[in-house]
Chain A
Amino acid sequence: DARVTQTPRHKVTEMGQEVTMRCQPILGHNTVFWYRQTMMQGLELLAYFRNRAPLDDSGMPKDRFSAEMPDATLATLKIQPSEPRDSAVYFCASGLGGLVRDRVREVYQPQHFGDGTRLSIL
Chain B
Amino acid sequence: QKEVEQDPGPLSVPEGAIVSLNCTYSNSAFQYFMWYRQYSRKGPELLMYTYSSGNKEDGRFTAQVDKSSKYISLFIRDSQPSDSATYLCAMSETSGSRLTFGEGTQLTVNP
Residues of A that sit less than 8 Å from B by CB: 4, 31, 33, 35, 42-45, 48, 50, 56, 91, 93, 95-99, 101, 105-116, 118
Task: Assess whether B60 is interfacial by the CB under 8 Å rule.
Answer: no
Q: How many residues of B contact A (CB 8 A)?
A: 25
When the two chains form the complex, which single residue of A31, A91, A110 contacts B43, counting CB atoms closer than 8 Å? A91
Q: Is the CB of B45 within 8 A of A106?
A: no
* B contact residues around A93 at 8 Å (CB): 43
Expressed in whole angstroms, the minimum distance between the Cβ of A107 and any Cβ of chain B is: 7
* B contact residues around A110 at 8 Å (CB): 34, 46, 49
Task: Assess whether B72 is interfacial by the CB under 8 Å rule.
Answer: no
Q: CA A50 – CA B94 in complex, angstroms?
A: 14
**Contact sample, A vs B, 22 pairs, CB 8 Å cutoff:** A35-B99, A43-B44, A43-B101, A45-B100, A50-B96, A93-B43, A96-B96, A97-B94, A97-B95, A99-B96, A101-B95, A106-B52, A106-B95, A108-B32, A108-B34, A110-B34, A112-B46, A113-B44, A113-B45, A116-B41, A116-B42, A116-B43
Q: Is the CB of A111 within 8 A of B41?
A: no
Task: Assess whether B31 is interfacial by the CB under 8 Å rule.
Answer: yes
